[in-house]
Amino acid sequence: MAMLVVVTEAVPPRLRGRLAVWLLEIRAGVYVGDVTKRVREMIWEQVNALAEDGNVAMAWASNHESGFEFQTYGANRREPVDHDGLRLVRFLPPQPTD
């Protein structure tokens, strides 16, 4: 089992309810728990099925050099990139307003 953190933004209440079944919501849209890889993968399937136009970041403890891994769903200014085997985050420029 490994520590899991899920941060949601603008997701439907149905997904928030599903996440609350397996994880503790410590702040609005921030869920934590200690789950197996199988449960983590099942949670990610729920994110893909129910997040709609929202966005989600999920991070968990691992044996990688950084000590964690993460994946994201949906549009966000923070974009994951691989740099020499390390997963980093870069910021996209702000969207112009009309």
Amino acid in position 37? K
CA dist., res. 21 & res. 7, Å (int): 15
Judged on CB neighbours under 10 Å (0-12, 13-18, 19+), 76 is: middle
What pLDDT does residue 92 have?
81
Backbone angles phi, psi at 34, to 5 degrees: -115, 105
Using CA atoms in the order 30, 35, 41, 45, what is the torsion angle rounded to 10 degrees? -40
The domain spans of the chain are 2-91
What are the pLDDT tens digits along the chain (98 aa)? 999 999 999 999 999 999 999 999 999 999 999 999 999 999 999 999 999 999 999 999 998 888 899 999 998 878 888 888 778 888 888 877 77
pTM above 0.75, yes or no: yes
CA dist., res. 25 & res. 17, Å (int): 10
Q: Please state which of the four CATH numbers 1.20.1560.10, 2.120.10.30, 1.10.10.10, 3.30.70.240 is assigned to the domain occupying 2-91.
A: 3.30.70.240
Amino acid in position 67? G
Backbone angles phi, psi at 96, to 5 degrees: -65, 145
